[in-house]
Amino acid sequence: MRHENTWLPAMTPPTATAAPLLTATRLAFARDDEPVFGPLDFSVGRGETLLVEGDNGSGKTTLLRVLAGMLPASSGEIRFHGSPASRDSRNGHALLLSHRSGMHEALSPRENLAFLAGLYGQRDGMTIESVMARVGIAAWLDEPLRTLSAGQKKRVGLARLLLVPGDIWLLDEPYANLDRHGIDLVNALIAEHCARGGAALVTSHGAVRFADPNARHIRLDAQEKAEPSANERE
């Protein structure tokens, strides 16, 4: 198994605990003066999973897009490893899995993953073959993406998370379109990632039970505009 626990406490410098992987302070986003979410305060440390819950339209996707750097926050601050979020501090840290896969339907998973690995770099010890085998669709490596089912495409997206470097996974509805085995796979991948010292933010509309009972939750509510902050609870 190449995906077993590779996080060795002895390797970690003493300063490691100083800064969490990701910290958000009074983070808020508004579109045309219409508040979408926040202000939120939370931090995610190594090995932690944060479950972002909320109904449709409550701003879960927007929160992940802001954290990934695709949208500028209206107010508040994001820090990666203790330094303010920027293109450079995100480099190799934040990885977003969104509804749109970023893959072309006419290309095979191998060609798509090769392109994305060219953009992001490639994690040591990982090959396109090995990550496709890990997500269980190695047989589809050279088939055009359009011949794959929605669930299989989702798995190719998961393969990308394994292939390219990034310690904070921002997973937007990773369970969508997946069967029971797929859901178990997502949970196993998140657990392995956290065991290696990574962290994950996972959005869900609450239909799927998240495996880790110790995961922390943030709840986003569409009507939360009137509410004060401090939505984080253990």
- Would you tell me which residues interact with other proteins (CB under 8 A)? 2, 4-8, 11-13, 15-16, 18-19, 46, 68-71, 81, 83, 87-94, 96, 98-107, 111, 114-125, 164-165, 167, 193, 196-198
Q: Which is nearer to other proteins, 43 or 98 (CB)?
A: 98
Q: Shortest distance, CB of residue 16 to other proteins, whole angstroms?
A: 4
Which whole-number Å values give the CA distances from 97 to 36, 38, 200, 202, 207, in the listed order?
20, 22, 11, 10, 19
Q: Which is nearer to other proteins, 70 or 188 (CB)?
A: 70
**150-163 and 109-120 are packed helices; what angle lies between their axes, rounded to 10 degrees?**
30
Q: Which is nearer to other proteins, 15 or 56 (CB)?
A: 15
Q: Shortest distance, CB of residue 226 to other proteins, whole angstroms?
A: 27
Could you count the other beta carbons within 10 Å of the beta carbon of residue 151? 14
Strand 75-80 with 83-84, pairing: antiparallel
Q: Which is nearer to other proteins, 40 or 163 (CB)?
A: 163
Residue 86 neighbours by CB under 8 Å, 6+ apart: none
Q: Shortest distance, CB of residue 139 to other proteins, whole angstroms?
A: 21
Q: Shortest distance, CB of residue 47 to other proteins, whole angstroms?
A: 11
